[in-house]
């Protein structure tokens, strides 16, 4: 994926989050705090785990085939949103992590 594609993903993510902010304002007059966004991410991350357990026949659950890819995608989305709300570049964060980890593991 080139930088343009990643930038488009970030723009689409921000538009979706703004629409959710509109719903939050209409439902309880304020948008979710960063802490509430983080909790929502953790909830979805937990659901990824449950769906993986279901896919591996270790947890009884219906609709895993459709929910697992959706929840994994949603977790990516939440990480983009959380990093943007914290004033961090999602692209820089992943690039920095990969570079440091490659260096640590002597991957060229």
Helix, strand, coil share (%) of the chain residues, nearest 5: 80, 0, 20
The pLDDT value recorded for residue 1 is: 63
pLDDT on residue 18? 98
Q: What is the pLDDT of residue 4?
A: 81
Given phi > 0 = left and psi -120 to 50 = alpha, else beta, which region is 30? beta
| Nearest C-alpha neighbor of 81 from the set 33, 49, 48, 47 | 33
Per-residue pLDDT of the chain (108 residues; tens, 9 = 90+): 677 899 999 999 999 999 999 999 999 999 999 999 999 999 999 999 999 999 999 999 999 999 999 999 999 999 999 999 999 999 999 999 999 999 999 998
Other beta carbons within 10 Å of 102: 11
Phi-psi category of residue 88: left, alpha or beta, with phi > 0 → left and psi -120 to 50 → alpha: beta
The CB-side HSE value for 3 (13 A sphere, CA atoms) comes to: 3
Q: Domains in the chain, start-ordered, CATH in brackets?
A: 3-104 (1.10.287)
pTM for the model stands at 0.91
What integer pLDDT is reported at residue 3 of this predicted model? 72
């Amino acid at each position: 994926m080139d930088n343009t594609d990643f930038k488009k993903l970030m723009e689409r993510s921000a538009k979706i989050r703004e629409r959710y902010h509109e719903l939050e304002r209409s439902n309880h007059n304020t948008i979710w705090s960063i802490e509430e966004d983080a909790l929502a991410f953790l909830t979805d991350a937990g659901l990824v785990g449950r769906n993986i357990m279901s896919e591996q026949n270790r947890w009884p659950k219906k609709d895993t085939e459709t929910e697992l890819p959706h929840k994994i995608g949603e977790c990516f989305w939440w990480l983009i949103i959380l990093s943007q709300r914290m004033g961090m570049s999602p692209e820089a964060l992943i690039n920095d992590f990969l570079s440091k980890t490659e260096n640590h593991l002597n991957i060229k």
